[in-house]
Amino acid sequence: MRATTVCAALTLCWSIGAAHPFGLHDVSRSQKPVGGTTLEPPSLPRPSVRQHAKNADICVAGTRQYTGSVPVSPEKDLFFWFFESRNDPANSPVIVWLNGGPGGSSMFGLFEEIGPCQTNEHFNGTVFNKHSWTEFANVVFIDQPAGVGFSTFKKGHDGGPDNLLEAAQDFSQFLTVFFHEIFPEAADNDFHIAGESFAGRYIPGFTHYINQRQQLGGDAGTRRAVPPIQSIILVDAVVDAFGFYISGHYDHFCGVDKNGKKRMPENGFNETACDSLEKEIPECERLATLCGSTYDPVVCETAVSYCDDKVGKWFNGDVYPGGRDPYDDRKKCGDNPPICEPFNGTSSYAGYLNSPHVKEELGFSDDFVYAGINDDISKRWEKSREAWVPTTRELTSILDTTPTRVLVLNGNNDIGVNTEAQNRIYDRLPWSRQAAFRSHEYTNWQWPDESGKPIKGGKIKTADDLEVKNKLAFVSVDEAGHASVGDQQEALTWLIKCWTDAKHQKDERCPL
């Protein structure tokens, strides 16, 4: 159901052309987007935008905030929640945040990880988050593809994109409208795209798509349809064949010491399970390698099926209420395996977003049902087999043919996207500086707490190319699971500021 036009208290509604801090402009739809082709005449509705008070009841943000929907096709609208930086928004970078799934809403990232507010313990209001990325950046949370979260598909929440190309086209169209019609001044700020989990499929694919269109000509004006992408930030993100992450269970729960003897880490598997994994992993990784070399969806699905059945069974059998949590080896699984986290229950951020006053503030009718995960979208991507194909080719292209930098963050307590597998994946990723990156040793990185005391955050290694410093950086994060940016808010907010803020990089403590 589309957003309504009702305006609640503390909410300002306007059409394109009204004034706001970044300056709304009535830009003609005859402009050219990425790829050099002309947009269709006004066949799509104008985007709808609402401004909310800095400390509005729906989000105690401490900064200006805007919500809205952008039509990206006649049947699809993408919802966004935009927060200005708390400090000098005109000169702060713009970061787009995407959660994964497929089918996961980016409102999780907003209310549980990096947003300026978080839900309170009763899930009936919000509290101020002093360790938000909005301390130094303008942050846009986007629900995508259409049908996810507050983004709508004409036929309701069924249907919507089930492949990377269509999702990339919609994302590119969203950015074109966002930067040219709604917040054109923001197009001059440094621009980064960040996200976690299945966003490892989205972000390299979207970035590669946008870069290709820009290289083919861009728009006829002096400004590109989408600003140059300074960097992508991949948080516990799936980029290679799923089989490699499953085979990483051996390193995480079994492994050997430096003398080649088996070691059984705390909370690890028993010897029977570890012996079985040793036998099955070679075939699992052979199939995963074949998936990555062919990009054939059928081959990739076969690899996932084999690896999950033969290797993943030892872990999957432990995922039950009170058993292992696939997203954090420090936690016990909740009441809804295999996800184990309350994404759609009333005792969660989703319950808060389904509150009548929140939906009214956002412009949705009372009968609209927000879901943190759209299971139909997830099943559609699986059915199309698009869920299993890697994005390593796209990463190679980004590293070798564009100035875009790549930052990888991974929580060391994540099981589903484990650091052990990620280390191997990025060491074997083909690009011009692969040998240099692979040969570099991991070193400790530290972050300063509020008193300035240095605290170990994990391990890091980087590689430059001939023109760009820290072209690829891999950062492991101690005491962090799949939602590492939420688990270690203070540490990673500081680190992301180091990565995105050129002035902050003058701080000798910055490892990036």
For domain 404-512, the question of CATH label 1.10.3720.10 is answered with: no
Q: Which fold has domain 241-317?
A: Helix Hairpins (1.10.287)
- Segment 244-257 mean pLDDT: 86
Contact 119, 333 (CB under 8 A): no
Q: 1-225+343-399 with 241-317: one CATH topology?
A: no
Q: What is the pLDDT of residues 113-128, one digit of tens each?
A: 999 999 998 888 999 9
The 3-class SS string of 403-466 reads: CCEEEEEEECCCCCCCHHHHHHHHHHCCCCCHHHHHHCCCEEEEEECCCCCEEEEEEEEEECCC
Q: So what's the pLDDT on residue 28?
A: 33
Query: Residue 400: how many CB atoms within 10 A of its CB?
Result: 14
- In the structure, what pLDDT confidence band is assigned to residue 468 with cuts at 50, 70 and 90? confident
Q: How far apart are the first and last CA of the chain?
A: 44
Q: So what's the pLDDT on residue 27?
A: 33
- In the structure, what pLDDT confidence band is assigned to residue 54 with cuts at 50, 70 and 90? confident
Residues forming beta bridges with residue 48, ordered by sequence position: 69
Asked whether residue 395 carries a pLDDT value surpassing 90, the answer given is: yes
pTM of the entire structure? 0.89
Average pLDDT, the chain: 85
Q: Where are the domains of the chain?
A: 1-225+343-399, 241-317, 404-512
- In the structure, what pLDDT confidence band is assigned to residue 259 with cuts at 50, 70 and 90? low
Q: So what's the pLDDT on residue 53?
A: 76
Q: So what's the pLDDT on residue 67?
A: 94
Q: So what's the pLDDT on residue 26?
A: 41
Asked whether residue 82 carries a pLDDT value surpassing 80, the answer given is: yes
Asked whether residue 388 carries a pLDDT value surpassing 90, the answer given is: yes
Q: Which CATH architecture has domain 1-225+343-399?
A: 3-Layer(aba) Sandwich (3.40)
Asked whether residue 201 carries a pLDDT value surpassing 90, the answer given is: yes
